[in-house]
Homo-oligomer: A and B are copies of this chain.
Amino acid sequence: MWTFDNLPLKEMQDRYQFTPSSDWLAHVERAALRLKAGCSAAFVSADGLIITNRHCVDNCIAQLSTPAKDYIGAGFYARGREQELRCPDMEIDELEATSDVTARVAEVLKGRSGDDYAEGFATVSGRLEQDCADGDTRRWNCQVVDLYHGGRYALYKYRRYQDVRLVFAPESAIADFGGDPDNFNFPRYCLDVALLRAYDRDQPVHAEYLHFASRDPAEGELVFTAGNPGTTERGWTVAELKALRDDDIMPALVYYSELRGILEQFGREGAQQQRIAYANLESVDNVIKSDLGQFDALQDQEQLARKTADEVALRDWVLSDPARRAEYGDPWATIASAMGRYHALVTRYRMLEESWGFESRLFDYARMLVRGTEERDKANNRRLAEFRDANLPQVKQTLFSEAPIAPDYEELMLGWSLTKLRAALGADDPLVRRVLGTNSPDQVARMAVEGTRLDSAAERRRMWDESDYMEVSDDPMIAIAALVDKQARAVRKEYEDEVESVVRVQDELIARARFARDGSGSYPDATFTLRLSYGQVQGWREAEQEVPAFTDFAGLFSRANGNAPFRLPPSWLAAEAGLDPDTHFDFVTTNDIVGGSSGSPVIDRQGELVGLVFDGNIHSLGGDFWYDSTSNRAVALDNRALLAALRKVYGMPGLADELVNGHS
């Protein structure tokens, strides 16, 4: 997960006899993209065509679907520009430039802690981001990024695309073939790909793009992935990892498992319900499987012992020397005690601030309006991070989205999550009493969803634009958001001041101590910023069995059994005879990827695209904490499988040609 400016070139040369040129790097860096929703992507034609995973655009497809047009089940195929449909909530960012701002940030933060630290960081990063966007936040998305846990700060400048249109997405039955049973497993047989197109002023943008290779990747071949791994915790202390396991992963597993049960059963109630539940169920399944994998990884005694020994050695190195002790203190002890504080407040934080108690898009809108109108009036650096100038375009895009809302579903989710709120804080908690009054959670949800007008984008826009209008509103969802806001802000502030800031300062001390002892030469933990990973196409050994690196179409047809999630869509059944059964379908590589890397292009030495990352194997879930090349694998779609599908299954030769030629 290397940043482009600090690659282990010597190691790459020694191991693979290859050193990417600066042109190679600049080209890949420009073509690589990220989705606001937390995925990676890349330009694949000069006419703004973008490749990513279908599971990264599920939300868009669900929003564009209607009872009459089920794009999730049937797929989406724009046969011509005029049929491309705009995704209501999508934003894609293209990295324009990065610069090192460590000195400027460090200067401001020096000696600060807690509240003061957070405000200092907000001030300096706000100023840097503002200067960088140069008054045009609609076009530029600038973000100060914390690398090496405060060891380095960088300013990332992105070109922002909010007019992104759906071009192609296959049926869920093939995009997600094997469903939850096969998720994080291999062999896999998924066409988990979607094509989008970025527009600017109603014209496709002219983009620097990755060429589509005309050949398959070969077993053992050196390949790169360029993408935006979300977060990793490889630099975390053991105390942080334990808190992650017990205070984050475990409660999330319980919460989302129950939610999964609700969604499964809701989805059985009818076709419309099934569609509504689908996108949510997919992502919930994913969270659960990934949390289970992480929980398992954190039980790996060998890795934990190695990690603990490493930590003990560094701590001894610091504490055994009076000068070092004076300089670094004992960050491990301070972090452990901050984790105690975290344990005490995390339930309340999650319920109120992370909205576990208020699972509802309408509530999210209400909170955005209540908070946003309050925050706007403050100086940029005094605002909550998500309402700083640099982020307002995203807020507005979300708030003014025309994506349809299903009131029954909103009511169900809000009612259910209010029972979770009551269970977590207790029926006698004063805030719970205020929110519920003498009503049941379901009644509160019904009244709020039936009574609100926030299902109308026009209403939300008016509230945002006219704060007088909102102030006199008697909208019941706004009322709930307002009721909760003070306490939600309070617990957030406690968390930020007493946990987050503390850990950040201490992590920085640990990072500095490590630099002082070992020098640099590692990569920073993932921060949803662009990274290059190198590896090779390679299977692995699972228990007693070799898992081969590739699957093919023949395997797909033999695994299909007519029943979801192993049911092929009619298009594939019809096309079977015309497909070469030996065509490679999916493959695995040793590239180091984690959540957020989905949609990363797999690139060869020539800088050409040979595949598309869409998953990791089950062992990749430990990748959040450590990388283990013996079993950790990225799972990717082969570029030739995509071409065959476009030409022979979907009858979209024009789109296949655009990929091959690099323009339409």
- Taking Cβ atoms with an 8 Å cutoff, the residues of A that contact B are 178, 180-182, 185, 246, 250, 253-255, 257-266, 269, 288, 292, 295, 299, 343, 416, 419, 422-423, 426-427, 438-440, 443, 561-564, 566
Would you give the shortest CB distance from A247 to chain B, in whole angstroms? 9
Q: List 16 A-B contacts (CB under 8 A).
A: A180-B423, A181-B422, A181-B426, A185-B426, A246-B295, A254-B257, A257-B258, A258-B264, A260-B261, A262-B264, A264-B416, A269-B269, A438-B563, A439-B563, A440-B564, A443-B563
Residues of B within 8 A of A260 (CB): 258, 261
CA distance A266 to B262 in the complex (A): 8
Residues of B within 8 A of A264 (CB): 258, 261-262, 265, 416
Q: Is there contact, CB below 8 Å, between A563 and B440? A: yes
Would you give the shortest CB distance from A21 to chain B, in whole angstroms? 43
Q: What DSSP secondary structure best describes chain A's contact surface?
A: helix
Would you give the shortest CB distance from A274 to chain B, in whole angstroms? 13
CA distance A295 to B257 in the complex (A): 17
CA distance A250 to B291 in the complex (A): 12
Residues of B within 8 A of A269 (CB): 269
Residues of B within 8 A of A440 (CB): 563-564
Pick the most buried of A250, A263, A343: most chain B CB atoms within 10 A of its CB: A250
The residue in chain B whose Cβ has the minimal distance to the Cβ of A259 is B261
Q: Is there contact, CB below 8 Å, between A561 and B261? A: no
Would you give the shortest CB distance from A264 to chain B, in whole angstroms? 6
Residues of B within 8 A of A564 (CB): 440
Known: A181-B427, A440-B563. 10 other contacts (CB 8 A): A250-B250, A253-B254, A257-B258, A260-B261, A261-B265, A262-B264, A262-B265, A265-B266, A438-B561, A443-B563
Pick the most buried of A246, A416, A422, A427: most chain B CB atoms within 10 A of its CB: A427
Closest 4 pairs between A and B when the two form their complex, measured CB to CB: A261-B261, A265-B265, A438-B561, A257-B257
CA distance A262 to B299 in the complex (A): 29
Residues of B within 8 A of A182 (CB): 427
Which among B254, B261, B422 is the interface contact of A263 at CB below 8 angstroms?
B261
Q: Is there contact, CB below 8 Å, between A562 and B258? A: no
Residues of B within 8 A of A561 (CB): 438-439
Would you give the shortest CB distance from A46 to chain B, in whole angstroms? 42
Residues of B within 8 A of A419 (CB): 180
The residue in chain B whose Cβ has the minimal distance to the Cβ of A251 is B292
CA distance A436 to B44 in the complex (A): 42
The residue in chain B whose Cβ has the minimal distance to the Cβ of A269 is B269
Would you give the shortest CB distance from A6 to chain B, in whole angstroms? 38
The residue in chain B whose Cβ has the minimal distance to the Cβ of A295 is B250
CA distance A259 to B262 in the complex (A): 9
CA distance A263 to B261 in the complex (A): 8
Would you give the shortest CB distance from A39 to chain B, in whole angstroms? 24
Residues of B within 8 A of A259 (CB): 261
The residue in chain B whose Cβ has the minimal distance to the Cβ of A296 is B246
CA distance A440 to B560 in the complex (A): 12
Would you give the shortest CB distance from A203 to chain B, in whole angstroms? 46
Which among B250, B265, B443 is the interface contact of A253 at CB below 8 angstroms?
B250
CA distance A563 to B444 in the complex (A): 11
CA distance A343 to B295 in the complex (A): 13
CA distance A422 to B178 in the complex (A): 11
Would you give the shortest CB distance from A436 to chain B, in whole angstroms? 8
Residues of B within 8 A of A250 (CB): 250, 253, 295
Residues of B within 8 A of A343 (CB): 299
Residues of B within 8 A of A566 (CB): 427
Residues of B within 8 A of A563 (CB): 438-440, 443
